[in-house]
Amino acid sequence: MKRTLGFIGLGIMGKPMAKNLLKAGFPIVVFNRSRGPVEELVKGGASPAESAKGLAERAEVIITMLPDSPDVKEVVLGKDGVIQGLKAGSVVMDMSSINPLVTQEIAQKLKEKGVEMLDAPVSGGEVGAVQGTLAIMVGGEKRVFDDCIEILKAMGKNIVHVGAIGAGGYVKLVNQIIVALNIAAVGEAFTLGAKAGLDPQTVYQAIRGGLAGSAVLDAKAPMIFQRNFKPGFKIKLHHKDLHNALSTAKDLGIPLPLSSLVQQILVSLMVEGKGEEDHSALANFFERMAKVEIRSKGI
């Protein structure tokens, strides 16, 4: 019999991830601040909870998918939080992208209660969450990872145990640096092409099979060409991730000059009111400076 899961955080990523767990046959209890996603999941077979504490009292593995470190701390450790309802032997699996040092702090508090923790941030955006093809980088005890592998397989395709607790968060920061710098490079390069009068779709087809090709290029360039900035991953969230990367780099004593530059570009876009748009809108920064738009012909 499959273990009962609790899922907290039914946003752009969390809702489809929870749906995939339901499809895989896991009994699920759900909790979210806004009621709409909860009602949608309940129609699909989930059970609602009135608090994080109440959810933890009914679940054996509790999954959190929340915006940032303070949100995870509040939901797990706060008043009426997960820790108040946990039973010894339970597992908390945080799939949010947060500061690894905060993850380690939370894990220590849970360990005092006899509860194990995995940090399992994801990459792949909304499309990966919907299709169940997310890349999942997991930190924590290997035996706990092995015990939860079927749960992870219901949400992702490329699942790797990367080390001790907090290691998942560190790997996610590496991932987010590469993605942010890649999107910025795509935006800057295609701005050059657009200013030269080239059709971006033709440029894309010409370069995608060479060394410039990447998953980021394939996922984000068509969105830019079609002027579709509906969020799969929001600018404000990528700004948060780069902030965590820079903060962590400071603690480790290493410079991240390119990450610092792209983070400031994201700040500029947020000041313009674009924080809720997809991070592919990074291209808008370069378009504005060049007074050109990267748009496919006929759009």
Which are the catalytic amino acids?
172
Q: Sign of the CA dihedral 147, 112, 122, 47?
A: positive
**For residue 233, what are the contacts with CB-CB under 8 A and spacing of at least 6?**
12, 125, 126, 278, 279
Contact 154, 26 (CB under 8 A): yes
* Alpha-carbon 140 to chain mean position: 18
- Alpha-carbon span 89 to 110, nearest angstrom: 10
Which pairs with CB-CB distance under 8 Å and at least 24 residues apart come from 84-87? 84/52, 84/53, 84/56, 85/52, 85/53, 85/54, 85/55, 85/56, 85/57, 86/56, 86/62, 86/110, 86/113, 86/115, 87/57, 87/60
CA distances from 239 to 105, 115, 126, 236, 245 (A): 23, 32, 17, 5, 10
- Alpha-carbon span 29 to 85, nearest angstrom: 13
Q: Say which residue the tokens 């450790």 belong to.
A: 77
First vs last C-alpha separation in the chain? 52
Question: Tokens for 231?
Answer: 């969020």
